[in-house]
Amino acid sequence: MGYGETQERLLSFVSALEVGLTRRFRGAVDHLRIALDVRMAAGQDLPRCFLVVYDSVPGGTGYLKELMRAPEPLLEVLEQALQTLNECTCNQDADADGCYRCVYAFRNSYDRESISRRTAQRLLGEIVQRKGLLKKVTNLSDVQSGNQLLGSPLEKRFIEALRREYDGARYVLTEVLFKGKPGYQLQAGERRWRMELQVSLNDSDGVVVASKPDFVLWPDDGVEDQPIAVFLDGWQFHKDSIPEDLAKRMAISKSGKFSVWTLTWDDIDCALQGKNSMTPSPWPTLLIDGSANVVSKVCEAQGLSNAINAFKSFSPFMQLHQRLGA
């Protein structure tokens, strides 16, 4: 399901969906979870969102099978949700845009500001009205029609690599809405970051050559630290634009306000396979003449203060991994 990207629309719709599922299955739906799946498409400014309903009980409880055996049961859930919202007594209070009997039922008070019964009614109404036009797809790649909408497998693999455990350390990535767009919160040991996707950096960020890193990680734990701009290099888009790309990345670095990291397909692939990167690390060479000062300075500029000796032997991905948890 692709739809609006704002937090209000997202949370309102998810809340209404929970109302509908509870009604359909008479309350016993704690094990059904709704997750946000975000996919970037090349040439698009905004990610596409999908809601994934899954069963948290291993092996499943049969509810989802029942729901997906035909289009009707799912549409019934949406219709029942709309009916519940339309009939809720809070409709009679002009100041109330939801209550604990309807859209607030499953949400904590923090989320409530972003939940609107009217928004949910409008979204559900649009779907129910057009129910004859809904199409079933067996594969999400079918949704991304046309070749301009290729998802980026590299971005997905980067997220996957960040979620892996390395030497007993596993970072937790949670999908969150950040600046109105789907993004991630990354808990890296004691450190916490907010990860924004497809960020435009320009003059207003002190970056003289405008560019769009694939990810920017913003410190989210009060630690005074620079945000990190991450570029993922898929070879097919870059071989003709290397000088331009370098200029962009240097401009970000020179702003003094960001650290810059570039990762290749190889770097991420190796991390996923638990191998060292095939891309040779420049660090051992830099250290051969004993110019450790240079290395410390570079590390300092990248915000790395400790464990420099161990650090130099890491692959670029693992360096970033360490950096995030440091």
Residue ranges binding Zn ion (CB under 5 A):
88, 90, 99, 101-102
Beta carbon nearer to Zn ion, 112 or 257: 112
How many Cα atoms sit within 13 Å of 68 on the Cβ side?
11
Give the nearest distance from C-beta 89 to Zn ion in angstroms: 6
Give the nearest distance from C-beta 102 to Zn ion in angstroms: 3
Give the nearest distance from C-beta 1 to Zn ion in angstroms: 24
Beta carbon nearer to Zn ion, 116 or 152: 116
With beta carbons less than 8 A apart as the criterion, state whether 216 and 241 touch: no
Beta carbon nearer to Zn ion, 112 or 164: 112
CA–CA dist 226, 206 (Å, integer): 13
Beta carbon nearer to Zn ion, 89 or 148: 89
Beta carbon nearer to Zn ion, 72 or 87: 87
| 234 Cβ contact list (under 8 Å, min separation 6) | 152, 154, 265
| 125 Cβ contact list (under 8 Å, min separation 6) | 82
Give the nearest distance from C-beta 98 to Zn ion in angstroms: 5
Measuring CA to CA, how many Å separate 203 from each of 123, 241, 256?
38, 21, 13
Beta carbon nearer to Zn ion, 99 or 210: 99
Beta carbon nearer to Zn ion, 97 or 196: 97
Beta carbon nearer to Zn ion, 52 or 96: 96
Give the nearest distance from C-beta 128 to Zn ion in angstroms: 18
Give the nearest distance from C-beta 323 to Zn ion in angstroms: 47
Beta carbon nearer to Zn ion, 66 or 87: 87
Strand runs labelled E in the chain: 32-39, 48-55, 165-166, 169-170, 172-178, 181-188, 191-197, 215-219, 228-233, 259-264
Give the nearest distance from C-beta 109 to Zn ion in angstroms: 15
Give the nearest distance from C-beta 105 to Zn ion in angstroms: 9
With beta carbons less than 8 A apart as the criterion, state whether 12 and 151 touch: no
Give the nearest distance from C-beta 99 to Zn ion in angstroms: 3
The DSSP 8-state label assigned to residue 151 in this structure reads B
| 181 Cβ contact list (under 8 Å, min separation 6) | 5, 46, 47, 196, 197
Contacts 24+ apart (CB under 8 A), 79-84: 79/20, 79/128, 80/20, 80/23, 80/24, 81/16, 81/17, 81/19, 81/20, 81/23, 81/120, 81/124, 82/16, 82/20, 82/121, 82/124, 82/125, 82/128, 84/19, 84/20, 84/23
| 103 Cβ contact list (under 8 Å, min separation 6) | 12, 15, 16, 19, 85, 115, 116, 117, 120
